[in-house]
Amino acid sequence: MAVIDIPFTSFTPDLPALNNPGLVKAHNCSPGLGAGAGAVTLFPLKSASLYSNTAMDSRPLGSAIGQDQNGNAKVYGANASKLYKLNPADRQWTNISRVGGYTTTDSESWESTEFGSLQIFTNYNDEPQFIDMNVDTQFANLTTLVKGRHIATHKGFVILGNTWDAIDGGIPYRVRWSGLELPSEFAYSAATMADFNDIHGFGAIQGLVTDDSCYVILQRGIVQMSFVGAPWVFQFTDRVVGKGCAISESIITVEGKHYFLSDDGFYKLEQGNLTPIGIGKIDSWFLDNADLSQAKLMTVAADPRRTLIYWQFASKDAVSGTPDKLLIFNYVTGEWTTADATTHFLFNSVSLPWTLDQLDAFVSIDNVPASFDDPIWAGGQNMLWGMNATGAVYSFGGPTMELSVETPEFQLARNIPNESGADVAIVNAVRPLFEGDGTAQIQIGTRKLPNEDMSWSLLNECNAETGFAYVRSRSRYQRVRINISGDWKKAYSVQLDAQPAGKR
């Protein structure tokens, strides 16, 4: 008999299960560095917990954060017909729309950008909206000359992409910018430098992102906008030809790097250079599992306290209109995992300060959404939040989610001392290695040939004294499923007690 240590490694469901160098499944966890070369440590995720039982009158379609001149945190939200702020006094969404509201269609959403003290929203169907966060009373039209699907600020300009105006109608490949330091002035002018540019040959504009330059991400290309001053204002340079963004809702910028989903998988754009980040790992898995007919439901956010990006989406198993899965990327290690979605809309936010009197809203200490040392209780702290389908706000301080791991498939007889030369092995016991107050269960998957269906044992409890689950399973090929529930802290390896089955 031999006990084999199998450290957890990358989540690589795109590769064949047999002799996969990574995990076939890593669910309800986040990926971090492991103790050895190629090793990965899996960390727990908390489920959503109610922060404010507030409501919008339809599904959330956008959000924004900012602060006024005194440093007070601002949180804004949007749905089809209204723009809201989250009132610090009672944590309720308060309608601060312009008179008459808005008409966002089912195929659109709201994007936002900050310009000084202004918070600016756009949804393509209505005029871009702005509010002065120092006043914070009511949104109003930024301009009536142009509408846009995408928005950014760069070098003192407000930039709109994929535009509509009364003269030319909808021009999906046009970028149009305001006057320099004049965010509401879009009339073409050499004096203000307000102007436009059409980008041909790459399809519709899918998003605008900025670092030292502004990058226009289109369906089939990426173009760099570089400020050069009058008379041209911006110089446009093709940086990527033939590869662009498939879903505008997938775009996120973190630490000056831009991430998004293309037609064939996930990519990183850095200083104009494009790098695949999911190839050979999760690209095929995502495209096989995501319901791209519901791509408009995708939301993406970055964890302010960990180097993680979360893409929330509707899988093919989802109830229509309900995102049910998360794809999680550690942008430092390059590792991936998945999780169940516990909200409908994921977004980056900032905490609003609490008083002791306001805690009475939770009635019981058991209903408090996070421990009292959590940054959620202090104002202005960057947070990861979610909303349900009607706008109730959630933090992520709920119960720890149950970990589910599936190892690669092994032919263990070739990995243990085997003088007989047998190609069949017996697994006597399995012990998952993890830290924290958790309870583990395991299943053994077996088959004779790689093209057969896998046969799975019943769930086996791990012994409280030894940590082993005793299984006594005989087969040519083996795979292990591990579930850990409770308040587990880290999971990093599994041990198999195995022996050759003998040769006749």
| CATH code of 417's domain | 2.60.120
Distance CA 262, CA 51 (A): 34
**Residue 363: predicted pLDDT:** 47
Residue 220 is assigned to a structural domain of this protein: no
Q: What is the mean pLDDT of residues 325-334?
A: 98
Using 50, 70 and 90 to split pLDDT, how confident is the model at 3? confident
Residue 453 is assigned to a structural domain of this protein: yes
| 386-435 pLDDT per residue, tens | 999 999 999 999 999 999 999 999 998 887 777 667 789 899 999 999 99
**Residue 419: predicted pLDDT:** 65
- Asked if pLDDT for residue 504 goes beyond 60, the answer is no
Q: Is 204 helix (H, G, I), strand (E, B) or coil?
A: coil
- Asked if pLDDT for residue 452 goes beyond 50, the answer is yes
Q: Which of 420, 433, 416, 382 is nearest to 497 (CA)?
A: 416
**Residue 375: predicted pLDDT:** 55
Number of H helices, E strands in the chain: 1, 38
Own/partner long-range contacts of 143-146 (Cβ < 8 Å, ≥24 apart)? 143/178, 143/184, 143/185, 143/186, 145/186, 145/187, 146/176, 146/186
Residue 301 is assigned to a structural domain of this protein: no
Distance CA 221, CA 204 (A): 10
Residue 455 is assigned to a structural domain of this protein: yes
- Asked if pLDDT for residue 371 goes beyond 80, the answer is no
As a whole number of Å, the end-to-end CA separation of the chain is 19
- Asked if pLDDT for residue 456 goes beyond 50, the answer is yes
Residue 153 is assigned to a structural domain of this protein: no
What is the bridge-based pairing of β-strands 308-313 and 299-302? antiparallel
**Residue 500: predicted pLDDT:** 86
- Asked if pLDDT for residue 365 goes beyond 70, the answer is no
C-alpha angle 50/329/305, rounded to 5°? 50
**Residue 362: predicted pLDDT:** 47
Residue 387 is assigned to a structural domain of this protein: no
Distance CA 279, CA 262 (A): 12
Q: What is the mean pLDDT of residues 304-309?
A: 96
Q: How many residues does the chain have?
A: 504
The sign of the dihedral angle between the CA atoms of 170, 172, 178, 184 is: positive
| 179-217 pLDDT per residue, tens | 999 999 999 999 999 999 999 999 999 999 999 999 999
Q: Which of 170, 79, 159, 66 is nearest to 123 (CA)?
A: 79
How many Cα atoms are found within 13 Å in the side-chain-facing hemisphere of 417? 4
- Asked if pLDDT for residue 377 goes beyond 70, the answer is no
| 253-268 pLDDT per residue, tens | 999 999 999 999 999 9
Residue 19 is assigned to a structural domain of this protein: yes
Residue with tokens 């300060």: 353
Distance CA 205, CA 52 (A): 36
| 88-106 pLDDT per residue, tens | 999 999 999 999 999 999 9
In terms of Cβ atoms closer than 10 Å to its own Cβ (0-12, 13-18, 19+), residue 120 is buried
In terms of Cβ atoms closer than 10 Å to its own Cβ (0-12, 13-18, 19+), residue 320 is exposed
The number of distinct structural domains making up the chain is 1
- Which two three-digit tokens encode residue 117? 């003290």
Q: Which helix (H) or strand (E) holds 242?
A: none
Residue 452 is assigned to a structural domain of this protein: yes
For the chain, give the longest Cα–Cα distance: 91
Q: Is the pTM of this model over 0.85?
A: yes
Q: What is the mean pLDDT of residues 70-97?
A: 96
User: Phi and psi of 435, rounded to 5°?
Assistant: -115, 155
- Asked if residue 369 lies in contact with residue 91, where contact means CB atoms within 8 angstroms, the answer is no
| 110-144 pLDDT per residue, tens | 999 999 999 999 999 999 999 999 999 999 999 99
Residue with tokens 């756009």: 122
**Residue 316: predicted pLDDT:** 97
In terms of Cβ atoms closer than 10 Å to its own Cβ (0-12, 13-18, 19+), residue 358 is middle
**Residue 412: predicted pLDDT:** 86
Q: What are the Cα distances from residue 443, in Å, to 13, 180, 496?
A: 19, 63, 12
- Asked if residue 167 lies in contact with residue 175, where contact means CB atoms within 8 angstroms, the answer is no
- Asked if pLDDT for residue 366 goes beyond 70, the answer is no
User: Phi and psi of 116, rounded to 5°?
Assistant: 60, -125
Please tell me the least confidently modeled range out of 245-259, 275-289, 416-430, 486-500.
416-430
Distance of alpha carbon 456 from the chain centroid:
32
The sign of the dihedral angle between the CA atoms of 258, 259, 262, 264 is: positive
Enclosing domain of residue 449: 2-45+403-500
Using 50, 70 and 90 to split pLDDT, how confident is the model at 359? very low
- Which two three-digit tokens encode residue 252? 């996120």
